[in-house]
């Protein structure tokens, strides 16, 4: 029998705020963190909007001498991890350290550092490249820096599976604890890819919304007039803990993670499978892992990117997975408020899913005004909803057809 796993800590950083409570309050108010890009001159860009983290000072969490060693995606991960550890009332002792692991995902890693150092190479030659370039930019250094910071000597790993990265990191950590290889895992995702190359690259694919005149209305998942996703940034970190240890510590148990599914579309480098097969399979796998029936799920925090393909196909997959029960489910996409955090999306949305269970409240899909006949479920439009819920799914789908689903259960003594 696999060991039970509790969620005892949550740390969130996004365009909605710095800190878990600030994010949660903004979500319930239906606020939007999307605005005009301020990081670089966008005059030559067709897309000029993003979900930037505002007012973030890394010195609040990181010593000055270490800031230059960390790309912003690492800085966000460190801050979110601090929030998570504090919310879990966790103290890392020498006895606990070998059983405490870190698993952080990122879809891109240190994009801004890569761009800056490439410019240094072209303008000044190889001697101008910073000695901190590599450790500041590679994907696994978020986990590495956090492991060093907290003295975590258990599993230390990273995953890079595009927009499924954060969910894969949480799901893999769940299994690590369930198998008995660690007792506590700090896990999730982080991303900081609002850069000229990133925005230009996604724009050239025509993947991004170009509604520059009204940025706060650009991300509109499941709405008939959606025209692409809005890139966001930030981090979402959970503390997962073996259930009996959490009970013994007397800490708050926000929820229990009970299921995890993975699948591949084997269809296209960027588009989801047209019949929703991969998304259906990953949700079915999570249900089987938890040994529950589809009818027991109450809410889905959807991948819901606001792209024409994803939202239609995810809706199709939900109906294929849940049958008639699909029309009794609550489904919402919080990307309407945060933007799409790419590799950090699953971490952020995993945390939001746990908060929804803990507070028995569903965050809305904002900007939902014009129903799409192909998207005909209850998307909790525009206003949060109080609701008794016991099981929540969180979906993440990535380029290359990589899919992950997390399944959380309400915790009661």
Number of Cβ within a 10 Å radius of residue 275: 14
**CATH number, domain at 200?**
3.40.47.10
- What percent of the chain has a predicted confidence (pLDDT) above 70? 100
Its sign, for the CA torsion 93, 85, 58, 71, is positive
- The reply to whether 186 and 240 lie within a common domain is yes
- The reply to whether 109 and 208 lie within a common domain is yes
The distance of Cα 380 from the centroid of its chain, to the nearest Å, equals: 20
* 255 domain residue, yes or no: no
Please report the pLDDT score of residue 274 as a whole number. Answer: 80
- The reply to whether 39 and 186 lie within a common domain is yes
- The reply to whether 344 and 218 lie within a common domain is no
- The reply to whether 218 and 277 lie within a common domain is no
pTM (predicted TM-score): 0.98
- The reply to whether 84 and 214 lie within a common domain is yes
Domain of 290, in residue numbers = 261-406
- The reply to whether 203 and 93 lie within a common domain is yes
* 411 domain residue, yes or no: no
Residue 340 designated active-site: yes
Tally of structural domains, the chain? 2
pLDDT band at 355 (very low <50, low <70, confident <90, very high): very high
**103, 168, 187, 303: which is the annotated catalytic residue?**
303
Residue 303 designated active-site: yes
Q: Mean per-residue pLDDT for 300-322?
A: 97
Q: Note the pLDDT tens digit of each residue in 259-303.
A: 999 999 999 998 888 889 999 999 999 999 999 999 999 999 999
**103, 168, 340, 358: which is the annotated catalytic residue?**
340
Torsion of the alpha carbons at 270, 272, 278 and 280, rounded to the nearest 10: 150
* 316 domain residue, yes or no: yes
- The reply to whether 335 and 220 lie within a common domain is no
- What percent of the chain has a predicted confidence (pLDDT) above 90? 97
HSE-up (13 A, CA, CB side) for residue 118: 9
**163, 187, 280, 375: which is the annotated catalytic residue?**
163
Last residue of a domain, one of 203, 228, 249: 249
Residue 22 has pLDDT above 90, yes or no: yes
Last residue of a domain, one of 249, 281, 311: 249
Q: Note the pLDDT tens digit of each residue in 206-250.
A: 999 999 999 999 999 999 999 999 999 999 999 999 999 999 999
- The reply to whether 280 and 350 lie within a common domain is yes
- The reply to whether 243 and 285 lie within a common domain is no
* 413 domain residue, yes or no: no
Last residue of a domain, one of 249, 280, 311: 249
* 256 domain residue, yes or no: no
* 382 domain residue, yes or no: yes
Distances (CA, A) of 264 to 135, 261, 273, 276, 283: 31, 11, 10, 11, 12
């Amino acid at each position: 029998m696999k060991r039970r796993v509790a969620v005892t800590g949550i740390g969130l950083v996004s365009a909605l705020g710095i800190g878990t409570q600030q994010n949660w309050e903004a979500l319930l108010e239906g606020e939007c963190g999307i605005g005009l890009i301020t990081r670089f001159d966008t005059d030559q860009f067709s897309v000029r909007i993003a979900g930037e983290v505002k007012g973030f000072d890394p010195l609040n969490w990181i010593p000055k001498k270490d800031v230059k060693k960390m790309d912003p995606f690492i800085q966000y991960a460190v801050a979110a991890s601090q929030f998570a550890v504090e919310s879990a009332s966790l103290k890392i002792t020498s006895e606990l350290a070998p059983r405490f692991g870190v698993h952080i995902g990122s879809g891109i890693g240190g994009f801004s550092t890569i761009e800056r150092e490439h410019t240094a190479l072209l303008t000044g030659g190889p001697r101008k490249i910073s000695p901190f370039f590599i450790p500041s930019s590679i994907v696994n250094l978020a986990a590495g820096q956090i492991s060093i910071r907290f003295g975590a000597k258990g599993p230390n790993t990273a995953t890079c599976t595009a927009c499924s990265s954060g969910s894969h990191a949480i799901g893999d950590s769940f299994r690590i604890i369930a198998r008995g290889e660690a007792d506590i895992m700090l896990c999730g995702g982080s991303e900081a890819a609002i850069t000229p190359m990133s925005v230009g690259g996604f724009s050239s694919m025509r993947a991004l919304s170009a509604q520059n005149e009204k940025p706060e209305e650009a991300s509109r998942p499941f709405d008939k007039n959606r025209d692409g996703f809005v890139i966001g940034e930030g981090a979402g970190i959970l503390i997962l803990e073996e259930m009996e240890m959490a009970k013994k510590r007397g800490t708050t148990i926000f929820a229990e993670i009970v299921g995890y599914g993975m699948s591949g579309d084997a269809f296209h480098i960027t588009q989801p499978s047209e019949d929703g097969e991969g998304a259906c399979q990953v949700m079915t796998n999570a249900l089987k892992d938890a040994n529950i029936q589809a009818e027991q799920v109450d809410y889905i925090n959807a991948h819901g990117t606001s792209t024409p393909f994803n939202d239609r196909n995810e809706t199709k997959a939900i109906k294929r997975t849940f049958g008639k029960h699909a029309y009794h489910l609550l489904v919402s996409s919080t990307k309407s408020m945060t933007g799409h955090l790419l590799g950090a999306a699953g971490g952020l949305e995993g945390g939001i899913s746990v908060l929804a269970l803990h507070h028995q409240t569903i965050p809305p899909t904002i900007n939902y005004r014009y129903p799409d006949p192909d998207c005909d479920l209850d998307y909790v439009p525009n206003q949060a909803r109080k609701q008794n819920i016991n099981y929540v799914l969180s979906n993440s789908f990535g380029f290359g057809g990589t899919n992950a689903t997390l399944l959380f259960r309400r915790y009661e003594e």
